[in-house]
Amino acid sequence: MTDERIPGSGDFVKEILEEADERVKEQFMHGERKDKIREVINEICKRSGVSVREVRPGGRRHNVSQARAEVAFKLVGDYGITLAEIAGNVGASTSEIFNIMQMLNN
């Protein structure tokens, strides 16, 4: 891995980039995370044709589960938000969020 902004190469550059990524994720304050969670839920629900109300209490329809999984993937991958925090905002358990992410990944 290389990045012309960082002198060196290989494992050193990878480590620096990973540390920078972690710092960005940690900079999200609690209120900002809540806002981002709401924003992502609304965005994916609108695109999927699923109501926010269906996603939050743990609806079981396939497209609702799919939307919930997309929400989880985006929030974990892009913003470093924990499964527990996502679960609390979509009306599911942490293990349910983990399982639907696993299903979507396969």
The pLDDT value recorded for residue 30 is 67
The pLDDT value recorded for residue 55 is 83
Residue 12 to residues 4, 5, 20, 22, 102, Cα–Cα distance (Å): 13, 13, 12, 15, 31
Residue 37 to residues 12, 25, 32, 45, 67, Cα–Cα distance (Å): 33, 14, 9, 12, 13
The answer to whether 85 and 47 have CB atoms below 8 angstroms apart is: no
- Mean pLDDT, the chain, integer: 78
The pLDDT value recorded for residue 101 is 77
CATH number of 29-105: 1.10.1750
The pLDDT value recorded for residue 25 is 59
